[in-house]
Amino acid sequence: MELQWIYTLKVIPTLAEGLKVTMLIAVAGILLGFIIGLLAGFVRSGKHNILYRIAGVYITVIRGTPLMVQALYLYFAIPMMLNFDISALTAGIVAIGLNSGAYISEIVRGAIQSIDIGQNEAGICLGLSKFQITASIIFPQAFKIMLPSLCNQFIISVKDTSILTVIGVAEMTRQATQAVSSTFRTVEIYTSLALMYFVLNTVLSFLLSKLERRMK
């Protein structure tokens, strides 16, 4: 087969449209995941038995099933059971949020538990409430510890958006697949897609590394 690499240039505008959706899902999903992970992480590092078990079930289920299955369930199964409609974009964001939240919760839990117990005792001696101790003493220190892992999770979430093509989300992989179906230039277009992901994640890694250094 004769390769026509001109298609790598022709497909860039199409992939750029998909890139917007990819970044929207990744950013919104990781923000949702951070909120979920923060709550679950604090619960898992606390002593509330019922909430601890609920968070444990959520983490076990999410970490024990593939993201693709979670996306399919959110987009097809749950709306069918509850009789409502949901857009593919919304289902994709929720899927990334729930999936990343399970992993972020363990990052949060580990960071909180790594803080010396003396920090908490010092806050009590100063007459601070439990909330003040957590917000002013524990969390700022824990956040610096968890930041590298959070940055890594964000990059993973960017790559995970490619899985959402199974529910019809128009992200980069979906756009590339549609371009292949209309031009049959499989090698050229999928090479462009791989390069686009590589450049995107390299840039993100560089920017997030700079953020980590500034936080330190």
pLDDT tens by residue, 100-111: 999 999 999 999
Least confident of 88-92, 184-188, 199-203: 184-188
Of the listed ranges 44-53, 74-83, 93-102, 147-156, the one predicted with least confidence:
44-53
112, 149 contact by CB (below 8 A)? no
CA distance 186 to 168: 19
Q: How many residues does the chain have?
A: 216
What does each C-alpha distance from 186 to 50, 98, 112, 183 come to in angstroms? 52, 33, 47, 8
Rounded Cα gap, residues 148 and 186, in angstroms: 36
Average pLDDT over residues 72-81: 95
Cβ(151)–Cβ(104) below 8 Å:
no
Give the per-residue pLDDT at 103.
Answer: 96
Q: Report which of 105, 141, 104, 106 is spatially closest to residue 120, judged by C-alpha positions.
A: 141
Q: Using CA atoms, how far apart are residues 140 and 202, in angstroms rounded to an integer?
A: 28
pLDDT value at position 8? 77
Query: H or E stretch including 148?
Result: helix 139-160
- 13, 196 contact by CB (below 8 A): no
| Mean pLDDT in residue range 115-126 | 85
Longest alpha-carbon distance in the chain: 75
User: pLDDT band at 49, cuts 50/70/90?
Assistant: confident
- Give the pLDDT band (50/70/90) at residue 201: very high
